[in-house]
A and B are shown apart, each in its own frame.
Chain A
Amino acid sequence: MILALGFAFGANAQAKKPTIMIVPSDNWCVNNGYTMEFENQGMTEVVPDYTAAFQQNSDLLLVISKLNGLMADRGFPLKNLESEIKSINSTSALDAMRSSKSSGAEVAESPVDALLNQAKADIIMQLTWTVNTTGPKKSITFNLQGLDAYSNKQIATAAGTGAPSFSAELPVLLEEAVLSYIDPFANTLQNHFDDMFENGREVSIRVMRWGDWENDLETEYGSDYTELGFIIEDWMADNSVKGRFTTKDATENMLIFEQVRIPLYFERNGRQRAMDTRRFASELSRFLRQEPYNIVNKITTRGLGEATIFLGSK
């Protein structure tokens, strides 16, 4: 409830700004031959090879550069996938070589840390285009999708086919397409942000249990013998904005909440601060640590919009 009130106070505070990155779609990468194949448990999987796409396709660089510039004009500079991949590679190489001066110990990195250390953003601008040829005429079908990395919802879009041209070259047609579609795209993205400011950020929260914990989500607490799963669900209803959330799955081992609307701000020491999923989940974590539950737990997060609480130990 306190968190939900915080949402109403936050008129002057700044919400956490989502990061946006343009990524060529799998469809575009496959159609243009920028793929890698690897064996995964006997199955051959085809995945996009972004490094090859950036090294070999000048049109892709042109489109991304143009889109980056236009989004920067709107006060929303984008993360650059190519730079992000390079930066991760060089940081990983440096970390692998680094050791403590006194003990010689290596930099600690769990397998999960290694998995998380990849190019990511809160919103993915997925880019696809195809060149249509009819006799001497060429046209471009352009598709720009804004995908929320946590809810997997398409939150913005702009797509269509440009006018056929006899003479214009592909880069010119692509530039025209970018200029034509950026405003409709930004408009639908603004709708998403308006909804976020009105109804809170939409995030996912999972509650899981460690295998060695003696209790589970069906353990009953209190004088009315309420199951832990329902106690957590009630907390979610009291603290999400306008009580909005969906319980996707509920078993004795896990609870998965989707479309949880969390406030954008909370108050600390008399000041408004931006709220993210980690902060919101930490309130649930604190609630579970207190009497009468006394459940030791651990929080992990993925970006701005996904948190998991593990019950039973740190």
Chain B
Amino acid sequence: MRTNNLKTVLILLVMVLSATNSFAQKRAKKLADEDTKNWRYEIECEGVGSNGVYLIKIFSYSFNKDVAIEQAKKNAIHGVIFKGIPEGDRGCVSQPALARNSNLEQEKADYFEAFFAEGGKYQKFVNLTTDGAVKAGDRYEVGGSGLFRRKEYKIGIVVSVNKALLRKELEDAGIVRGLSSGF
């Protein structure tokens, strides 16, 4: 009888822990998505490849390291579309944003909501290089002071973005104008 009770308590404990973990993961993801929308990430150019592929280092923030790594992909695409790529010290030339209208994100909110959703189309244009491994110098702990404040990670991940294909997608969807549109 006592053993059965203990089992039930253990099962309940595992379920509660698992639910808490899942809740924390979801919350971290939600916060990371909000950071993306609020432009809270940094882009650095790492190099220009052939056929319109760019290597970009993205610094993302999260309480959860795994979420930060996954969010880097979304941030990279978001950055290429709305921010552009700044000049880098490896001979990278500053690249303009694909969006030429500063209100594009709001004007085409439905499209971008679906585009950046979990499992959304954005994944088609980005790849994690080095399997998402983080260099020692690209992992920082930020915040975390105070009694109950949680540590937040700032993690830099190098991703490759197929800008040529991404531009084509946005042109075909009528989100941005192509060079030849109207002719």
- Give chain A's interface residues, CB within 8 Å of chain B: 14-18, 71, 73-76, 158, 160, 162-163, 175-176, 179-181, 183-184, 186-187, 189-190, 193-194, 197
Contact = CB atoms under 8 A, between A and B. Distances in A.
B148 interface: no
Contacts of A179: 48-50, 52
A184 B96 contact: yes
B91 A186 contact: no
B96 to A, nearest CB: 4
Nearest to A164: B91
A180 B96 contact: no
Contact of A190 (B52, B89, B93, B177): B177
Nearest to A158: B93
B94 A197 contact: no
Contact of A17 (B49, B92, B164, B183): B183
Contacts of A186: 179
Contacts of A16: 183
7 contacts: A74-B179, A74-B180, A75-B180, A163-B89, A176-B91, A184-B96, A193-B182
B77 to A, nearest CB: 16
Given A17-B183, A179-B48, A180-B48, A75 B94 contact: no
Given A75-B180, A197-B182, 18 more contacts: A15-B183, A18-B183, A71-B179, A75-B178, A75-B179, A75-B181, A158-B93, A163-B89, A163-B90, A163-B91, A175-B50, A179-B50, A180-B93, A183-B95, A184-B93, A190-B179, A193-B182, A194-B177
A183 B96 contact: yes
Contacts of B164: 73
Given A160-B93, A163-B90, A180-B92, A14 B48 contact: no
B179 A189 contact: yes
A201 B177 CA distance: 18
Interface string B75-106: 00000000000000111111110001000000
Contacts of B177: 190, 194
A193 B179 contact: yes
B44 to A, nearest CB: 14
Interface in B3-55: 48-50, 52
Q: Which secondary structure dominates where chain A touches chain B?
A: helix
B139 interface: no
Contacts of B94: 184
Contacts of A175: 50
What is the interface of chain B mostly: helix, strand, loop, or mixed? loop
A183 B163 contact: yes
Nearest to B96: A187
B182 A190 contact: no
A127 to B, nearest CB: 16
A184 B94 CA distance: 8
A181 B91 CA distance: 11
Pairs A-B, 5 closest by C-beta atoms: A163-B91, A75-B180, A17-B183, A180-B93, A187-B96
Contacts of B90: 163
A231 to B, nearest CB: 34
A179 B47 CA distance: 11
A76 B100 CA distance: 19
Contact of A180 (B89, B91, B100, B183): B91
B18 to A, nearest CB: 47
A176 B52 CA distance: 11
B91 A14 contact: no
Nearest to A18: B183
A16 B180 CA distance: 11
B92 A76 contact: no
B179 A14 contact: no
B179 A76 contact: yes
A126 B96 CA distance: 21
B100 to A, nearest CB: 7
Contact of A14 (B49, B89, B92, B183): B183
Interface in B162-183: 163-164, 177-183
Of residues B48, B163, B181, which shows the largest number of chain A Cβ atoms within 10 Å of its Cβ?
B48
A194 B181 CA distance: 10
Contacts of A163: 89-91
Interface in B128-183: 163-164, 177-183
Contacts of A190: 100, 177, 179
Nearest to A162: B91
B96 A17 contact: no
Contacts of B48: 176, 179-180
A167 B51 CA distance: 22
